[in-house]
Amino acid sequence: MAQFNAQNLKTIGVFTSGGDAPGMNAAIRAVGRLAIHHGLDVMGIVGGYPGMLNKEFETLSQNSMANIIQRGGTILKTGRLPEFHQADVRARAVQNLREAKIDALVCIGGDGSFTGAHLLWQEHQFPIIGVPGTIDNDIAGTDLTIGFDTAVNIALDAIDRIRDTAASHDRLFIVEVMGRDSGFIAVDVGVAGGAEEVFIPENPAPVEQAIDRIRRGMARGKKSSILIAAEGHKPGRAYDLAESIRKKAGFDAKVCILGHIQRGGSPTAADRILASRLGANAVEALRRGDCDAMVGVQSGVYVTVPFTQVIGFKKRVSGDLVSLARTLAI
């Protein structure tokens, strides 16, 4: 674990980065309130890495973090900055942070955000701790990320509603959920929603397999079915699947794309608690002098994992759960 001299730690900066996730506000609150509890100052960086470049820094007080734990989105706003791949851009960001007297950072985001954070330590010895926040749950080194539980529950609620109308009209539906590189949301809602098939980027099911399941269901009198597709790199791919099923089997499938609905709304209790614990642990890690690492949870134990064991590593969807989704759907 990389270490810095935490004796002179006076001001912690906190920012959210990448796609927003329900529970990020609870994490900001935990970082801010625990830092204040320990007598530290806290600065919010507005808009993620772009905010660092534009010097969008604001002091966070006990009051500015009131009434946010239940709110979706992020009060600090978020953004992506492809220019952060350039060393001179990173150098300017560090200069701005030092001018603002920020001594260390907490970055709430995903793999891409942590890559930038890791480089700030490597190139400028600027200490940062990462807090995993993305609805996709695709970050290595932690079993759970902030926002995943809420996104799954939002998608599940939608699927339950779709099942009502699918059953009333004897229809086949394909519901597309988020997940750029991973099928964590798709698999969880597939099992919890009783879907007939789950299409995920990691383990793509052939369309014929879904058609076979639908046919077997029909043979025993089943008249409606729901298939779940993770969007993968092409949001809207559910339309391609519907077209392929129509061409191969003549079934007419309705498509429902849940999209960004899954990223909004009030976080579940599980996400608020996860975010509060991870945010607090991030501050404790900095106080110990730990940096260049992410706080996470593994098998119920809260851990600190070096970024070198997180960034670029692929967390696998549970093969057992994928098999179970398919077995139970028969």
Q: Restricting to residues 203-262, name those near ligand F6P by CB under 6 A.
A: 231
Please state, as a whole number, how many other Cβ atoms lie within 10 Å of the Cβ of residue 158.
18
Q: Restricting to residues 161-200, name those near ligand F6P by CB under 6 A.
A: 178-180
Are the beta carbons of 276 and 30 closer than 8 angstroms? yes
- Measured at CB, which residue is nearest to ligand F6P? 19
Please state, as a whole number, how many other Cβ atoms lie within 10 Å of the Cβ of residue 308.
14
Pick 135 or 172: Cβ nearer ligand F6P: 135
Question: Which residue has tokens 């960004």?
Answer: 260
Closest CB 179 distance from ligand F6P, rounded Å: 5
Closest CB 150 distance from ligand F6P, rounded Å: 12
CA-CA distances (angstroms) from residue 253 to 95, 192, 211, 240? 55, 21, 11, 11
- DSSP letter for each residue of 283-305: HHHHHHTEESEEEEEETTEEEEE
Pick 136 or 197: Cβ nearer ligand F6P: 136
Closest CB 14 distance from ligand F6P, rounded Å: 19
Range list of H helices, the chain? 24-37, 49-53, 87-99, 111-124, 148-169, 184-192, 207-219, 237-249, 269-288, 319-329
Pick 136 or 290: Cβ nearer ligand F6P: 136
283: contact with ligand F6P by CB under 6 A: no
User: Which of 1, 37, 9, 25 lies closest to 286, judged by CA?
Assistant: 9
Closest CB 167 distance from ligand F6P, rounded Å: 28
Pick 33 or 263: Cβ nearer ligand F6P: 263
**Residue 6 half-sphere exposure toward CB, CA atoms < 13 A:** 18
Select the span of 83-91, 131-139, 219-227, 306-314 touching ligand F6P (CB under 6 A): 131-139
x/- letters, 68..107, toward ligand F6P (CB under 6 A): ----------------------------------------
d(CA 180, CA 159): 20
19: contact with ligand F6P by CB under 6 A: yes
202: contact with ligand F6P by CB under 6 A: no
Q: How many residues bind ligand F6P (CB under 6 A)?
A: 9
134: contact with ligand F6P by CB under 6 A: yes
Closest CB 19 distance from ligand F6P, rounded Å: 2
Secondary-structure percent of the chain, ordered helix, strand, coil, rounded to 5: 45, 20, 35
Closest CB 216 distance from ligand F6P, rounded Å: 31
Instruction: List the catalytic residues.
Output: 136
Contact positions toward ligand F6P, by CB under 6 A?
19, 134-136, 178-180, 231, 263
